[in-house]
Structure 1
Amino acid sequence: MKERKVIIETGLNLENSYASLPKTFFTRQSPSHVPSPKLATLNYPLITSLGLNAKALQSNDGVDILAGNKIPKGAMPLAQAYAGHQFEHFTMLGDGRALLIGEHITPLGERFDIQLKGSGKTPYSRGGDGKAALGPMLREYIISEAMNALGIATTRSLAVVTTGESIIRETELPGAILTRIAASHIRVGTFQYVSRWGTVEELRALADYTLQRHFQEGDDKENRYLFLLQEVIKNQAKLIAKWQLVGFVHGVMNTDNMAISGETIDYGPCAFMDAYDPATVFSSIDTYGRYAYGNQPNIAAWNLARFAETLLPLLHINQNEAIKIAQNAVSDFTKLYKHNWLSGMRGKLGIFNEELEDEYLIESLLSTMQKYGADYTNTFRALTFDEIEDTVLFGKIEFDKWYELWQKRLTRQEKSKVSSKQLMKSSNPAVIPRNHRVEEALEAAVKQGDYSVMERLLDALSRPYDHSREQDHYSTLPEPSTCPYRTYCGT
């Protein structure tokens, strides 16, 4: 009776539709018991939107659920199997340190995966301990919530709990578990796994499940599997364009890190760019810059081609015809991405209508920003508020010429200058999770147990388009350093 009372109080309403797929898609697995779980942070706005009970989740029983020490009613913990191209090399993967607890059905009928990340070994751990350290879990919490506030499709973080364990990486680190919320955890790599080691019937089962879960309009289409491919391509074209528009660098765009739902997933070595440079790389393992900021659209297209390959048996009975269908669909990505990116860049410059010369205008500005090492976010913010004298571009001949062209361009539209400024304010964030501010928050939380720095940062990041002077602290650039900023996978 006690367990039933806990479930009612938390508001968790779990189903397990993924478990209806063939058994080769997953392995049933219980989370590892942790010795002393404590709540580190809880996402109250997300709790409300999911219809959960914050007070119950803060209780000892609630924390035990978030730590995996108690299995809530209706849960069926499992580790998902998937494969992937990691830096172009194909390999078998799977949830090596995460478990899908179940799918929560909200009061509005929405379905979200509830996943515990850092919950212990699984059959897919590949020699790892299946655990997670506090710093990387808090980092995912911060960045994913910032992405959500920026209006970018993303998995979200419900909570982080410390486990009372020491995690051995390069040194001893406090252990933690993150509760991740996602539309689903179906990846390009999930399809690759079934395509390589499953049957056509199993592939069809996965595709049908994905259509039912994410793209129900496909039921009325002549070729529902082509519709699936096209919708995934459309969603990724929107997503990657939004990444580029805010200077986000994912850091590890392996095919297992591309979600079929179109959400940003797996915040490992990610970061936001300061000075504009397409070659920006933060990941410590991306030696050759495969996943650099400027390469992200091309990598997305490459990943989508791998996804299309998995669907060939479903697209057409004749393989040659299937290949043509897939190639035609994937070839649309570049056009779709460019449309989304140009539309977003026009918004950042206060432009409502379209002209052929717009791309030249945009690229000219970016080229000048790169030449002089101008900060990406703050440059567009300065343009928004006519404060360009505060940037490194002020007084530069190339910029002065560009600025004159831009002002003339703004006159060639029906919208007023006031409307243009409003468009720019809603398109150019005042704050992003600057790397030095994120590190500042993580250091205070992990080393000193002080979460107030992180809470203030999260508060500022939750309102990126407010443009209030209280946010100025989070817009300041880091001190110059001879060492480039590096991030790590957190495994």
Structure 2
Amino acid sequence: MDNSFASLPSDFYTRLMPTPLPAPYLVATSASAAALLGLDQATLAEQASLDILAGNSVPDGAQPLSAVYSGHQFGVWAGQLGDGRAILLGNADTPSGPIELQLKGAGLTPYSRMGDGRAVLRSSIREFLCSEAMAALGIPTSRALAVAGSDQGVYRESVETSAVVLRMAPTFVRFGSFEHWFYRKQPEQLKILADYVIDRFYPQLRAEENAYAAFLREVTRRTAELVAQWQAVGFMHGVLNTDNMSILGETLDYGPFGFMEAFDRGHICNHSDQGGRYSYGNQPQIGHWNCYALGKALLPLIGEVKAAQDALDVYQSAFAAKADQLMRAKLGLATAQDDDRDLMEAMFTVMEDNHADFTQFFRRLGALRVDAVPDAAAMAEAGANHPDAPVRDLFLDRAAFDAWAQRYRARLRAENSVDADRKLAMDQVNPKYVLRNYLAQVAIEKAQNKDFTEIARLLTVLERPYDEQPEHEAYAALPPDWASHLEVSCSS
């Protein structure tokens, strides 16, 4: 191991060792994340590995530290934040490039403020599962290697047991890392950090006339495309503060996240978000807002407001292009037509009016046959034997779905769509399995009783989200009634 971030001046971080986790035990491991490091799950189960995962020892070559950063939280400048419970061990060289290893929940740091530096088992399991689920969906994300637990109690709304999750990413530098130096009026440190990130992760931008403007443009583009990918699978981050935004355009910091179920553009997955700033429908504009905050922080380096504005202007077009591409794929459309957005908007309206399940709708839509129902009269007469029943039954207002389906069929016919080919393509982009809150809750409750088998079983399902997996059909079911009472918040 090495630690490239430790090569920066000492005011970028504090060197410290993790606080040991008493009597740790292994909760979960990811074979695919381990493979990125050239490890296997058997190695992770060894005592020496468990000690590292729990923060009770560090790997050879590690240089543990916690980074300082600042940020806007819920749109308000929060000042200095930093790694309040995370410790960066360093980076490991892999065939795909260096990957940083970070322990989350590893104890107090100078940036803990009023916190205890620990993470609870509940939130650690959620982050572990969602990190790996997002990777399997093909969405850029930090990864989670493993979770180590302990019976050590920590207090949130009640006393819970503590845990540490080992996270992996090329870097944990975030928008707020740059805001920190801008608002402290320390342009020298701002330049040092920008040069470090550009040289390490964006070296091709050195060929640009203004490398800092090009850097802002590239981060803005990546962020726009990332948010479009979130929207396409119904993922809601929940806490899109600038200190939770990756400088590489990866999903970072899984707190109160959620996957859309009954479709509602105004849905708020974070119980702490009283004003709905981070609702599903607001995510695209919040991503843009955060890029503006980054642009403001980089302005002393970019030099000209127009250059910064030009870089930020790529957001809207990049988001729209990616969102259109993804939505056409989800609908099985092989070509682009001028009225496609009208078709999509009509679809979302009827989904929202009927509270149709987001994931099931798109998955079942792939089975619709272009010529199965020739006209509206036949649709009405078909009743329970309606050929569209699997997807149609998600709607209380069947007539509203039928009207939209007529438009959709006409659009498919216009490009001579072939049912079998279209379904195959749609099944590859419309997941059958996502990490619904109730699935995570079942795994958490079993884990709180030292039964970790459900975490492993659920991970197995989520690692193949596009496959049918008939043996795991129950994991694709609509949420039970009790799931409506689940709440996730910023407390973890």
TM-score (norm 1): 0.93
Deviation at 1:482, TM superposition (A): 9.5
Cα distance in 1 for partners of 2:489, 2:3 equals 33
Contact conserved, 1:429 with 1:467, CA < 8 A, in 2? no
Deviation at 1:372, TM superposition (A): 0.7
Deviation at 1:483, TM superposition (A): 5.0
Of the three residues 277, 281, 284, the one matched with 1:290 is 277
What is the match of residue 100 of structure 1? 88
- 1:459 aligned partner, one-letter code: T
From the superposition, tell whether residues 482 and 343 of structure 1 become closer, same or farther in structure 2 (CA, over 3 Å). closer
Cα distance in 2 for partners of 1:257, 1:123 equals 19
- 1:232 aligned partner, one-letter code: V
- 2:453 aligned partner, one-letter code: S
Cα distance in 2 for partners of 1:349, 1:458 equals 27
Deviation at 1:302, TM superposition (A): 0.3
Cα distance in 1 for partners of 2:430, 2:418 equals 18
From the superposition, tell whether residues 452 and 466 of structure 1 become closer, same or farther in structure 2 (CA, over 3 Å). same
Deviation at 1:342, TM superposition (A): 1.1
- 2:456 aligned partner, one-letter code: E
What is the match of residue 374 of structure 2? none
What is the match of residue 262 of structure 1? 249
Contact conserved, 2:244 with 2:252, CA < 8 A, in 1? yes
Counting only pairs closer than 5 Å after superposition, residues 341-490 of structure 1 correspond to structure 2 as 341-386=323-368, 388-390=388-390, 391-393=393-395, 396-413=398-415, 416-446=418-448, 448-480=449-481, 484-490=485-491
Counting only pairs closer than 5 Å after superposition, residues 332-347 of structure 1 correspond to structure 2 as 332-347=314-329
User: What is the CA deviation profile of residues 217-259 of structure 1, one whole-angstrom value per residue up to 9, with x for unaligned ones?
Assistant: 1121111111111110111111101100111111000000100
Contact conserved, 2:83 with 2:109, CA < 8 A, in 1? yes
Unmatched tracts of structure 1, length 5 or more: 1-13, 317-321
Deviation at 1:433, TM superposition (A): 0.8
Contact conserved, 2:354 with 2:396, CA < 8 A, in 1? no
Cα distance in 1 for partners of 2:151, 2:483 equals 37
What is the match of residue 76 of structure 1? 63
From the superposition, tell whether residues 132 and 298 of structure 1 become closer, same or farther in structure 2 (CA, over 3 Å). same
Cα distance in 2 for partners of 1:28, 1:455 equals 34
User: What is the CA deviation profile of residues 87-117 of structure 1, one whole-angstrom value per residue up to 9, with x for unaligned ones?
Assistant: 11112100000100101111x1611110000
What is the match of residue 30 of structure 1? 17
Cα distance in 1 for partners of 2:423, 2:483 equals 37
| Residue 119, structure 1, aligned to residue 118, structure 2 | no
From the superposition, tell whether residues 217 and 245 of structure 1 become closer, same or farther in structure 2 (CA, over 3 Å). same
Contact conserved, 2:437 with 2:483, CA < 8 A, in 1? no
- 1:110 aligned partner, one-letter code: G
Unmatched tracts of structure 2, length 5 or more: 369-386
> What is the DSSP-based 3-state SS (H/G/I as helix, E as strand, rest coil) of the residue aligned with 1:115?
strand
Deviation at 1:292, TM superposition (A): 0.3
Cα distance in 1 for partners of 2:106, 2:172 equals 16
Counting only pairs closer than 5 Å after superposition, residues 140-179 of structure 1 correspond to structure 2 as 140-179=127-166
What is the match of residue 379 of structure 2? none
What is the match of residue 330 of structure 1? 312
User: What is the CA deviation profile of residues 6-64 of structure 1, one whole-angstrom value per residue up to 9, with x for unaligned ones?
Assistant: xxxxxxxx111111112211111111122211111111221122113544432222111
Cα distance in 2 for partners of 1:31, 1:379 equals 45
- 1:104 aligned partner, one-letter code: A
> What is the DSSP-based 3-state SS (H/G/I as helix, E as strand, rest coil) of the residue aligned with 2:313?
helix
Cα distance in 2 for partners of 1:189, 1:311 equals 11
| Residue 310, structure 1, aligned to residue 297, structure 2 | yes
Identify which range, 200-209 or 293-302, moves more after superposition: 200-209
> What is the DSSP-based 3-state SS (H/G/I as helix, E as strand, rest coil) of the residue aligned with 2:100?
strand
Aligned length: 471
Give RMSD over aligned pairs: 1.6
- 2:230 aligned partner, one-letter code: W
Deviation at 1:198, TM superposition (A): 5.1
TM-score (norm 2): 0.93
Cα distance in 2 for partners of 1:145, 1:435 equals 15
> What is the DSSP-based 3-state SS (H/G/I as helix, E as strand, rest coil) of the residue aligned with 1:204?
helix
Contact conserved, 1:163 with 1:175, CA < 8 A, in 2? yes
Deviation at 1:72, TM superposition (A): 1.5
Of the three residues 181, 199, 202, the one matched with 1:212 is 199
- 2:450 aligned partner, one-letter code: G
> What is the DSSP-based 3-state SS (H/G/I as helix, E as strand, rest coil) of the residue aligned with 2:165?
strand
- 1:102 aligned partner, one-letter code: G
| Residue 200, structure 1, aligned to residue 187, structure 2 | yes
User: What is the CA deviation profile of residues 252-302 of structure 1, one whole-angstrom value per residue up to 9, with x for unaligned ones?
Assistant: 000001000111011110011101101111212100100000000000000
- 2:87 aligned partner, one-letter code: L
Deviation at 1:334, TM superposition (A): 1.4
From the superposition, tell whether residues 436 and 109 of structure 1 become closer, same or farther in structure 2 (CA, over 3 Å). closer
> What is the DSSP-based 3-state SS (H/G/I as helix, E as strand, rest coil) of the residue aligned with 1:203?
helix
Identical counterparts, % of pairs: 39
Of the three residues 225, 230, 238, the one matched with 1:251 is 238
- 1:428 aligned partner, one-letter code: N
From the superposition, tell whether residues 248 and 374 of structure 1 become closer, same or farther in structure 2 (CA, over 3 Å). same
- 2:222 aligned partner, one-letter code: N
User: What is the CA deviation profile of residues 416-470 of structure 1, one whole-angstrom value per residue up to 9, with x for unaligned ones?
Assistant: 3333222211111011111111111111111x21111222211111111112323
Cα distance in 2 for partners of 1:430, 1:164 equals 35
Contact conserved, 1:382 with 1:388, CA < 8 A, in 2? no
Cα distance in 2 for partners of 1:109, 1:430 equals 29
Misfit runs of 4+, over 4 Å? 481-484
From the superposition, tell whether residues 482 and 381 of structure 1 become closer, same or farther in structure 2 (CA, over 3 Å). closer
Contact conserved, 2:433 with 2:462, CA < 8 A, in 1? yes
Deviation at 1:213, TM superposition (A): 2.1
Contact conserved, 1:350 with 1:420, CA < 8 A, in 2? yes
- 2:424 aligned partner, one-letter code: Q
What is the match of residue 265 of structure 2? 278
User: What is the CA deviation profile of residues 100-145 of structure 1, one whole-angstrom value per residue up to 9, with x for unaligned ones?
Assistant: 0101111x16111100000000000002110111111011011111
Deviation at 1:471, TM superposition (A): 3.4
> What is the DSSP-based 3-state SS (H/G/I as helix, E as strand, rest coil) of the residue aligned with 1:39?
strand
Contact conserved, 1:132 with 1:490, CA < 8 A, in 2? no
Cα distance in 1 for partners of 2:40, 2:418 equals 47
